[in-house]
Amino acid sequence: MKDIPRAISDIKSPFLAEVTTFIRTRGLAYSTEKAYLGWIKRFILFSRYSQREQIKASDIKPFLEHLVISKNVSPNTQKTALNALVFLCREMLNQDTSSLNFKRSKRATKLPEVFTHNEAMQVIALLQYPHRLVAQLMYGSGLRVNEALRLRINDIDLDAQSVTIRNGKGNKDRKSLLSPHIIPDLEQQIASVTMQHQLDTKNGFGEVYMPYALQLKYPNHAKSTGWQYLFPAQNISKDPRSNKRMRHHLTDRSVQLHVASAVKEAKILKKANCHTFRHSFATRLLEGGTDLRNIQELLGHTDIKTTQIYTHVVGTHFSGVKSPLTKI
């Protein structure tokens, strides 16, 4: 249950507990919380702070330059670290960060790896259910692996052929399309989860993890069928916050291992993983003439520049440019 926020009382460092509390009052996604806390810890260790009064915004510069010079991090990694430390110093400690001037990472941003359609279908065919259905949602709807695994039954609208992704990256909700091709499999998966939930309920379980705000607003929903995970774990486990025994969702590691095995079995030499399906989804839409703004919305990108990377993946051969060799 690594995607369930740990209790504040379990955090040993009083300062990090304070930072965590501040992050949660701002409503940031749990993935952002973990990333920010990781960078803040590294910043504290690098600067050799022993108390909060020593923290200075001016120390952000040497830390960020250390990441570039000694660690050779990518621009995106350095940017994440910057965001975390500006959040700490400016938002929480009320320090001025406007004069920050540091050496920025110049590492080239690599183009994402993309499956051809045949490669994607070949990998999917080598997977067993429910991992195959997870991959179909990543490729057919552009979901990240954890977005697919956190889906609840209520998030699937078979009539509208749409899926709702809640609390995605950036703590945003969005909708994406569902391929009619997988509707029968989704119906079967929902029926299977419903039967499993009925059995769990008879055995004294049947409750599922709910984010704290939803748990307060809808106290009975945790036991309802609609809020059960679409891809439940095989075994009952203990919620680290409530200590209740309940059924969580499949782990991302499980899906990643199965996908990696299928890629190897398909003899695909690309450096491919679960996220390659999402990249391939965007690339297929762009190849098919879908507007870049629509792709941005389906993927949940905040900045259109993030989506524009796929125009480079598609390349010039879809814009009518031909190689001189074709005239020989």
Find the CATH number of the domain harbouring 136: 1.10.443.10
Residues 81 and 117 in one domain: no
State both tokens at 55. Answer: 């923290």
Same domain, 82 and 205: no
Q: For this structure, is 275 an active site residue?
A: yes
Report residue 74's pLDDT band, with 50, 70 and 90 as the boundaries.
Answer: confident
pTM: 0.80
Does residue 144 have an active-site annotation?
Answer: yes
Bigger pLDDT: 31 or 234? 234
Same domain, 252 and 123: yes
Q: Do 86 and 115 fall within a single domain? A: no
CA 43 to chain centre: 24
In a domain, 228, yes or no: yes
- Per-residue pLDDT averaged across 41-59, rounded? 94
pLDDT value for 153: 97
User: What does the block give as tokens for 33?
Assistant: 């919380």
- Spot the catalytic one: 34, 41, 79, 275: 275
What pLDDT was estimated at residue 323? 61
Domain ranges, residue 249? 108-320
Task: Identify whether residues 59 and 179 lie together within a single domain.
Answer: no
The whole-number pLDDT of residue 318 equals: 56
> Is residue 103 domain-resident?
no
Annotated catalytic residue within 36, 139, 229, 310: 310
**What pLDDT was estimated at residue 168?**
65
Residue 100 has pLDDT above 90, yes or no: no
Specify whether 61 is catalytic: no
Does the annotation mark 41 as catalytic?
A: no
Most confident of 133-147, 227-241, 299-313: 133-147
pLDDT digits (tens, 9 = 90+) for 122-137: 999 999 999 999 999 9
- Which of the following is catalytic: 248, 249, 278, 284? 278
Please list the residues that pair with 152 across neighbouring strands: 229
Quote the number of domains for the chain: 2
Nearest-angstrom CA–CA distance, 129 and 131: 5
- Active-site choice (132, 144, 174, 247): 144
Do 67 and 131 share a domain, yes or no? no
Token pair recorded at residue 201: 């309920």
pLDDT of residue 315: 73
Per-residue pLDDT averaged across 250-261, rounded?
A: 96
Active-site entry in 42, 107, 169, 221: 169
In this prediction, residue 328 has a pLDDT band, given cuts at 50, 70 and 90, of low
* 268 and 231 assigned to the same domain: yes
Is 310 one of the catalytic residues? yes
User: 245-246 and 174-177: which strand pairing?
Assistant: unpaired
Residues 196 and 289 in one domain: yes
Is residue 46 assigned to a domain?
yes
CATH code of the domain covering residue 74: 1.10.150.130
Together in a domain, 117 and 62: no
Percent of the chain past pLDDT 70, that is, above it, reads 92
- Phi then psi dihedrals of residue 162, to 5 deg: -140, 160
124 and 158 fall within a common domain:
yes
Residue 303 binned pLDDT confidence (cut-offs 50, 70, 90): confident
Give the pLDDT confidence score for residue 104 in this predicted structure: 73
The residue out of 34, 67, 93 marking a domain boundary is 93
Cα 24 versus chain centre, distance = 18
Q: Give the integer Cα–Cα distance in Å for 200 and 193.
A: 10
Distance CA 44, CA 65 (A): 15
Residues in a beta bridge with 162: 157, 177
Average of per-residue pLDDT values in the chain: 89
Is residue 136 within 8 A of residue 185, CB to CB? The reply is yes
**301 catalytic, yes or no?**
yes
